[in-house]
Amino acid sequence: MELIENLKNDFTEIFNENPTNIYFSPGRVNLIGEHTDYNGGNVFPCALSIGTYGLTTKRDDKKVRLYSNNFKDIGVIEFDLDQLKFEKEHDWANYPKGVIKTFKDHGFDISNGFNVLIYGNIPNGSGLSSSASLELLTSIILKDTFNLEVDMISMVKMSQEAENKFIGVNCGIMDQFAIGMGTKDCAILLDCNTLEYRYSKINMDGYKLVIGNTNKKRGLVDSKYNERRAECEEALRILKEYKTISSLGELTEEDFESLKDKIGNPIIRKRAKHAILENIRTLKAVKTLENNDIKTFGELMNQSHISLRDDYEVTGIELDTLVEAAWDQKDKVIGSRMTGAGFGGCTISIVKEDAIDEFINYSTEKYEKIIGYKPSFYVVDISDGTRKLF
């Protein structure tokens, strides 16, 4: 592979030695089940063939030296294994640093440092989880370099913990799980309450999954995200007075109908409505897909977007415009919705395979006319999760 050869040469140039190991960690896209993970609901994501590569050598001292081809101007970032504090000027390297600290906090013996060269081909800030990809990449590097007895699910949990506690983003477990546990050509139905999961083959005769990137600059995603979480926690606190539950994901549609008036604040009520109905929609959607009824799956994707737009209010003009452009093309598109945290980032659509070019042309034209700049599109290949390549 030419890419790998180039990365090996880059490593040698930066660190004056040849890399000994090469790892890969994918990005992810979620097909349905949005903002349900931290509400104890179900999600249905898959791992992508784009992701983050890491080339490494082990060191004799306690230094960790990291270099990213995506941030060449920042140069090599160096820190000591005894000094694992968040430092703003360490920028992207805080993600691997947070994972190393979390592993150590859990008692794993990481006694030596290492050199890493990173290269990612997930568009940055696109909502395809470049940060979770880097966290799992660091996890597999630690496991392999230090022969740690640790399974993938524990690495998934520690990566999430690093993001929550070290980076300070209160994300759920979906991204890290999809990236660590991904399997080629399958999406994962994951119950985020119990972490029970199963793989579901994605086989859409004549149709393809297409990601549309709004290319909107990343803005207040993290603070808005934490705000939605707090709103759902408030809804849960109120509903717990009437029903014995530990998460919104345990409620049925009937439960919501009978309890909704207990939530006085209409905004909190809408947030709870989305969380509960999106969870039910996800279970329904997976069933329809498994029965080869992709038409109904598409309709449920559309409903998911409407709920995220009107009740959860995490879309915005860029995502809505891109999704509406897809909805305009009923003869080519089965369904379309925003994916990930929202407020920008990407959409996911099911598009007729032989009409993808027309779909992209129409969507680009409409989006550019309204928003003023172009979106980007990627046809999805569903890949395996985080792994050692060589």
Of 147-155, 172-180, 239-247, 380-388: span binding ligand GLA (CB under 6 A): 172-180
Residue 175 annotated as catalytic:
yes
Contacts of 129 (CB under 8 A, 6+ apart): 27, 28, 122, 175, 178, 179, 340
3-state secondary structure of 69: helix
Q: Is 37 annotated as a binding residue?
A: yes
Give yes or no for residue 37 binding ligand GLA (CB under 6 A): yes
Smallest distance, ligand GLA to C-beta of residue 345, A: 8
User: What is the longest distance spanned by two Cα atoms in the chain?
Assistant: 67
- Which one of residues 135, 161, 175, 311 is an interface residue with ligand GLA (CB under 6 A)? 175
- Which one of residues 171, 209, 326, 348 is an interface residue with ligand GLA (CB under 6 A)? 171
Smallest distance, ligand GLA to C-beta of residue 43, A: 7
Task: Give the whole-angstrom CA distance, residue 42 versus residue 35.
Answer: 9
Contacts of 191 (CB under 8 A, 6+ apart): 41, 42, 197, 249
From the candidates 61, 82, 151, 175, give the one annotated as an active-site residue. Answer: 175
Give yes or no for residue 38 binding ligand GLA (CB under 6 A): yes
Q: What are phi and psi of 169, to 5 degrees?
A: -105, 125
Q: Which residues within the stretch 336-355 sit at the binding site for ligand GLA (CB under 6 A)?
A: 340-341
Token couple for 291: 């029965």
The closest alpha carbon to 389, from 42, 52, 43, 32, belongs to 52
Give yes or no for residue 53 binding ligand GLA (CB under 6 A): no
Of 30-38, 101-109, 203-211, 325-333: span binding ligand GLA (CB under 6 A): 30-38
Q: Which residues within the stretch 210-239 sit at the binding site for ligand GLA (CB under 6 A)?
A: none
CA 372 to chain centroid, in Å, comes to: 27
Smallest distance, ligand GLA to C-beta of residue 341, A: 4
Smallest distance, ligand GLA to C-beta of residue 28, A: 8
Q: Within a 10 A sphere around the Cβ of 2, how many other Cβ atoms?
A: 6
Nearer to ligand GLA, 38 or 297 (CB): 38
3-state secondary structure of 189: strand
Between β-strands 45-58 and 346-352, what pairing exists: parallel, antiparallel or unpaired? unpaired
Nearer to ligand GLA, 124 or 258 (CB): 124
Task: Give the whole-angstrom CA distance, residue 344 versus residue 318.
Answer: 6
- Which one of residues 29, 31, 34, 383 is an interface residue with ligand GLA (CB under 6 A)? 34
Nearer to ligand GLA, 103 or 312 (CB): 312
Q: Which residues within the stretch 236-295 sit at the binding site for ligand GLA (CB under 6 A)?
A: none
Q: Is 183 annotated as a binding residue?
A: no
Task: Give the whole-angstrom CA distance, residue 318 versus residue 316.
Answer: 6
Give yes or no for residue 32 binding ligand GLA (CB under 6 A): no
Give yes or no for residue 385 binding ligand GLA (CB under 6 A): no
- Which one of residues 7, 77, 110, 174 is an interface residue with ligand GLA (CB under 6 A)? 174
Task: Give the whole-angstrom CA distance, residue 262 versus residue 256.
Answer: 10
Q: Is 322 annotated as a binding residue?
A: no
Nearer to ligand GLA, 34 or 231 (CB): 34
- Which one of residues 35, 65, 97, 143 is an interface residue with ligand GLA (CB under 6 A)? 35
User: If 0-12 CB within 10 Å is exposed, 13-18 middle and 19+ buried, where does residue 192 land?
Assistant: buried
Q: Dihedral, CA atoms, 14, 18, 23, 26, nearest 10 degrees? A: 40
**Helices in the chain by DSSP H: which ranges?**
2-15, 94-105, 130-145, 152-161, 174-181, 221-239, 253-259, 266-290, 294-310, 317-328, 356-371
Active site residues: 175
Binding residues for ATP: 68, 125-131
Binding residues: 34-37, 68, 125-131, 163, 225
Binding residues for substrate: 34-37, 225
For ligand GLA, the binding residues (CB under 6 A) are: 34-35, 37-38, 171-172, 174-175, 340-341
